[in-house]
Structure 1
Amino acid sequence: MGRISLHLPGCIMIASGLLLASVSVVAEELRITHWEPSSTASDSDTKMFSVTAQGLENKDIRVMFDNKALPDAQIQHRDGGLTFSLQGDHHRSGPLWLEQGKATSNPIWLSLAESHVVAASEDEVATNMDGLTTYVDLISVIIEESHDGAEEARRLADKFSARVVGAIPPLNTYQLRLSVSNLIERDALILRLGNEVSVDAVVIEETSAESPSQQQEQDGAAEPSVPDQDEWTANRFLDAVNYYTRRLNAKAKPIKTHPIRVGVIERDVDFDAPDFSGYLGDCRSKESGTCVYARDAKKPDDHGTTVTGILAADWDNGGNSGFLSGLNKASPGFDVIVERGSDAGITANVAASVNLVQDGVRVLNWSWGIHRIGAVSVDGNEVDSLVRSGLAMSGYEELLEEFFLWLRREHPNVVVVNSAGNASSYSSRDEYRLPSSFITEQLFVVGGHELSEKNGLNVNDPGYATKRKASNIDMRVDITAAACAKGSTPAPGERGELHCGTSYATPLVTGLLAAMMSIDPELTPEQLRMLLRRSAMTISDEHDFESVDADDLTSPILPSERGNNLNNPDVGHSARLDMQEALDLTVQSLDRVR
């Protein structure tokens, strides 16, 4: 018998004279895919957590938290994961990862803050009269400030035969599981709850069970008009990286930088992608200026991986290149925490945001938003992406209002960066768009642009970039940034596919604001906006402070943002992000303070 080569999944067997059959199973990498707080033990000082992981064996497992291995007595194994407890009140939120033999998992950020809400399963949702998927028996109530939220939530639960299953205590918001079986019963109970003197608002979720796309901005066409050019040149991305690493390390006048924590409201990140494989385990032990904490995703081209990659992807591996990771030579340390808590829609986004702020995050990236049914585009067409009913929108608006009031009262130096949206609609119409329509110093709204087809223009020219057709617009948008970015890839050296949408313009601004804060952590939201707008380049034609054909991309640049010079050519134009100039103005302002 001749030489035989047998190809089987995961193996190649070669035999002479006889055929050997063997199946080799490639072991899964050790990755944390989910975590959540479990029920609290009878001892109030003990907190229980549940972790789901792939590649996990029931032996030799070490749970590393705050750079220390948890005692085996605090860990219990279960199918596909484990549970563990933290005892006493001396613990604080921090990185957690698993070690098994020589294998190390991705690190997650284990928050010990108390905000968490429950997501509905496929059996707990239904289709309402608007054709939208909605939760049947899970709702949240916002309790009036004059009441003790926890106590009042328990009273309401007893009165209406419900159970308290989630909470956002700083916002006096509590999630109830109702004893109802259909939407008619739910809506009747919502009316009764809404008439309670102690209830400020009732929040319902119109979200598909476990659906990643529901909480993301839907992207437009993948290809920009000039696909072969780097879209980030329009924002001086590389110039900004060069400026930060050279100017801040200058021997003549070095600048002390400060660590900044960034929160990204996304589900997960693919740590198998070369862009993120270097962040496994104890990131800080590797002297990396940037660290990423997130649950592991199954593929590299999902929304969370791309958004996070714009901030923190490793360089020179193909795929993406992160702005903050590009600053590592001079970086004080950026913690990028990717977390959504659960898949419970907008309420989960807010709960996770509250936890992250309490854990020290200074900049929150919100690459998400929703439209109310009936919203129209600039062309007069009805918006059909990420729409919600009026009932849901009213609850969301109250919840978001509570969040921003809490932020202003308790954390006035935290900023939220939000995508304008991709419906060719208006970002400021509060009855039809959330959360970008909120007017607060702490909320920055980002529109999207792409490179124009005009050749030979200087980057400063307003025609160098043009509005991305799908981007939402108007006076509420603070600034535009490049809407297209390369995604991560499964193997080194591959070119990432383009992903486009305001979701991907937003982290460019988030990363820049974090870098500016690292130079001067005392900057207020008002000062950050002033520096961002003063440094901005222009885009599109002059509009004389009024919308022409519904085409104002951003709030027009004012004379006060150009040294009170009425004749400055930038005045009246929309604003385009200039990352290098913003850093330079930040350094200059720091020199004046000194």
Structure 2
Amino acid sequence: MRKTLYRRWSACLMLLFIIHHSYADALRIQHLERCGDIFNEQTHTFCLTLAEGAPAGKLKVKLNGKSLPAAQVQRADNQLRITLSGRVSSGPVWIEHARHASNAVWLSMGGSNVVAATEADVAKNMDGLTTYVNLVSVIIEERYDGLTEARRLAKKYNASIVGMIPPLNTYQLRLPANNLIERDALVLRLGSEVSVDAVVIEETDPEKHAEQHFPAEGETELTTDKPDETELIANRFFDAVDFYKRHLNSAEKPNKTHPIRIGIIERNVDFDSPDFSEYLGDCRHSKKRTCLYGRDADTPDSHGSTVAGILAATWDNGGNSGFLRGFDNMGPAFDVIVERNSDAGITANIAASVNLVEDGVRVLNWSWGIHRVGTKNIDGDAIDSLVRSGLAMSGYEELLEEFFLWLRMKHPEVVVVNSAGNGASFSGRDEYRLPSSFITEQLIVVGGHERSNNKNAQVDDPDFVIKRDASNIDMRVDITAAACVHSSTLKADKPGEIHCGTSYATPLVAGTLAVMLSINPALTPEQLRMLLRRSAMTIGQDPDFEPADADDLTSPILPSERNNQLHHPDVGRSARLDMRKALDLSVQSLTRVR
């Protein structure tokens, strides 16, 4: 009898445990977007989607730590409609029910928003690429009032305005087109308008499919090789954290540090992973911790989870260790915002970037990029991943140019860190590759390296690492970093699959820049690049400024980057990230930038 009762009691406890965890896991925000009248400047409406199985009844919605009045929140099954009016600041929004809290998503009050196509609104073009049939964006010449002109064009062509990026004078139109022939005819007519600088078409998957697609406009490869800590050691990852702890947080002479906000253009993060489960609810209850905001993913090994994990994952818990988490309780508050606006391809990436910059982001992490159809790798073979047609590339190039012009004019303090790409091609040729080919002080391009077979080499030896075979190269690449990391997992203390690519080298550089800015927020993008290069270790063959095989891994190190020593052994070599030395030079820059 006792055994029977014990078994029943144990079964009940197990059932309660399962119900408790299933209930908690269902309280997740999977999607958030602007909806309603996008031109209403007095009232802003947002539509929020919860995971299946979300608890019934009223939910408490919190924005910037304060509960929203029930009258501002409407619910229909797993959908919430939030209406905000008056002066409202951008910030994290999350859901609470009983004692449980959801992940926090960054709600931007910025006016840049575009919509994605559904499966009914796409088709295959002549290159076999999925392209939008009835959604395009027009970039209006700056001498025109963008909204007024967009409305005139919409009326003239029987279209409707469904999205916009006002700072870039860019407006998204839904055209009366049922096929690509009709779309291309309208695009040709729109492009001939005197007021139109360019027309941007999207070549990306429809929204429903894109949410299940891996990776998300990113550059990633999988390998069965097992990297160990030497991948991060190659960039002095742990030495950088130790330097900060010993030299900037000492009890005898603590240095003042400054909070920095980082934007990651990615789709989502799996908050069920131990890497990120600590970020549920009100993350900013502590002024000295890293906070992560983003939509919830279905799987822990998503592209966004891996990229975000390099910056924000809890140490040694769910597969990854986040660089910025290493400064908790001894540094400033880092905000890491994972945001992509919508699944509307490159246009959405730019819309999200504009909103984040207006919300105070100093460092943007772009672990994405595209190649033109027909691009060849360094071996002369065609690249068949992340390619776009010439028509799409021309529009993207104009949109990116407008973004960087706006950045230079309005936000010269912001720095963008972009992956060089994994096409084994040339990152700096604008006819082949975007956006890494842009020449601007506010764009830093990152290549990828991995541990060499030379186990006797010291960390500062050029032979300690080798270029990752797939990494794009040439003089437009500013620096290389470790390309291979563990993905996140659902089980604590279990290492995940290995992901490799320049996507994962990029956040190592972005995180380093964020910490450098926390030390000295007055550093400009040009000075940040200079300090990165001055602090860099080396990688690659013997010094050669013009190698016959065009195998420049990065822009070669110059004598001016080695105290004008013409015969310094580093001169002419390619650059490899040294995170510790970069922080050291940032401290020195408080008195002068050498």
TM range (shorter): over 0.9
AA aligned to 1:60 is K
1:120 paired with 2:117, answer yes
- Aligned residues of 1:56 and 1:81 also touching (Cα < 8 A): no
- Aligned residues of 2:105 and 2:293 also touching (Cα < 8 A): yes
Query: Which of 582-591 and 336-345 deviates more?
Result: 582-591
1:449-488 matches, cutoff 5 A: 449-488=449-488
- Aligned residues of 2:481 and 2:577 also touching (Cα < 8 A): yes
Query: Which of 583-592 and 524-533 deviates more?
Result: 583-592
How far the C-alpha of 1:12 sits from its partner, in A, is 5.0
Could you report, residue by residue, the CA deviation over 1:61-84 in whole angstroms, capped at 9, with x for unpaired residues?
Answer: 111012111111111111212101
Separation of aligned partners in 2, 1:85 and 1:318? 37
Separation of aligned partners in 1, 2:58 and 2:540? 61
AA aligned to 1:174 is Y
Question: TM-score scaled to structure 1, two decimals?
Answer: 0.94
1:253-292 matches, cutoff 5 A: 253-292=253-292
- Aligned residues of 2:227 and 2:485 also touching (Cα < 8 A): no
Residue 184 of structure 2: which of 160, 182, 187 is its match? 187
1:579 paired with 2:576, answer no
Separation of aligned partners in 1, 2:205 and 2:38? 31
Mind listing any 5+ residue stretches in structure 2 that lack a counterpart? none
1:70-469 matches, cutoff 5 A: 70-88=68-86, 90-210=87-207, 211=210, 212-213=213-214, 215-224=216-225, 227-469=227-469
AA aligned to 1:296 is D
State the match for 2:61 in structure 1: 63
Q: Classify 1:254/1:151 alpha carbon distance in 2 versus 1 (closer, same or farther; 3 Å).
A: same
Separation of aligned partners in 1, 2:362 and 2:332? 15
- Aligned residues of 2:420 and 2:446 also touching (Cα < 8 A): yes
State the match for 2:588 in structure 1: 588
Query: Which of 465-474 and 318-327 deviates more?
Result: 318-327
State the match for 2:562 in structure 1: 562
Question: TM-score scaled to structure 2, two decimals?
Answer: 0.94
How far the C-alpha of 1:215 sits from its partner, in A, is 4.0
How far the C-alpha of 1:548 sits from its partner, in A, is 3.4
Question: What SS does the aligned partner of 2:177 have?
Answer: coil
How far the C-alpha of 1:365 sits from its partner, in A, is 0.2
State the match for 1:18 in structure 2: none
Question: What SS does the aligned partner of 1:235 have?
Answer: coil
1:47 paired with 2:48, answer no
How far the C-alpha of 1:218 sits from its partner, in A, is 3.6
Separation of aligned partners in 2, 1:160 and 1:593? 55
- Aligned residues of 1:108 and 1:293 also touching (Cα < 8 A): yes
How far the C-alpha of 1:330 sits from its partner, in A, is 1.9
Separation of aligned partners in 1, 2:218 and 2:318? 25
Separation of aligned partners in 2, 1:439 and 1:426? 14
- Aligned residues of 1:215 and 1:346 also touching (Cα < 8 A): no
RMSD: 2.3
Question: What SS does the aligned partner of 1:262 have?
Answer: strand
- Aligned residues of 2:219 and 2:369 also touching (Cα < 8 A): no
- Aligned residues of 1:216 and 1:303 also touching (Cα < 8 A): no
How far the C-alpha of 1:287 sits from its partner, in A, is 4.5
- Aligned residues of 1:447 and 1:480 also touching (Cα < 8 A): yes
Separation of aligned partners in 1, 2:26 and 2:230? 34
- Aligned residues of 1:223 and 1:500 also touching (Cα < 8 A): no
1:511 paired with 2:504, answer no
1:544 paired with 2:544, answer yes
- Aligned residues of 2:288 and 2:330 also touching (Cα < 8 A): no
Question: What SS does the aligned partner of 1:152 have?
Answer: helix
How far the C-alpha of 1:592 sits from its partner, in A, is 3.7
- Aligned residues of 1:557 and 1:575 also touching (Cα < 8 A): yes
- Aligned residues of 1:217 and 1:502 also touching (Cα < 8 A): no
How far the C-alpha of 1:251 sits from its partner, in A, is 3.4
- Aligned residues of 1:543 and 1:552 also touching (Cα < 8 A): no
AA aligned to 2:84 is L
How far the C-alpha of 1:593 sits from its partner, in A, is 7.3
Could you report, residue by residue, the CA deviation over 1:179-220 in whole angstroms, capped at 9, with x for unpaired residues?
Answer: 010000000010100010000000000101132346433423
- Aligned residues of 1:208 and 1:214 also touching (Cα < 8 A): no
Q: Classify 1:432/1:41 alpha carbon distance in 2 versus 1 (closer, same or farther; 3 Å).
A: closer
How far the C-alpha of 1:24 sits from its partner, in A, is 7.1
- Aligned residues of 2:241 and 2:326 also touching (Cα < 8 A): yes
How far the C-alpha of 1:222 sits from its partner, in A, is 1.6
AA aligned to 2:376 is V
Separation of aligned partners in 2, 1:375 and 1:4? 70
AA aligned to 1:32 is I
Question: What SS does the aligned partner of 2:584 have?
Answer: helix
Separation of aligned partners in 1, 2:381 and 2:454? 29
Separation of aligned partners in 2, 1:444 and 1:42? 35
- Aligned residues of 1:214 and 1:386 also touching (Cα < 8 A): no
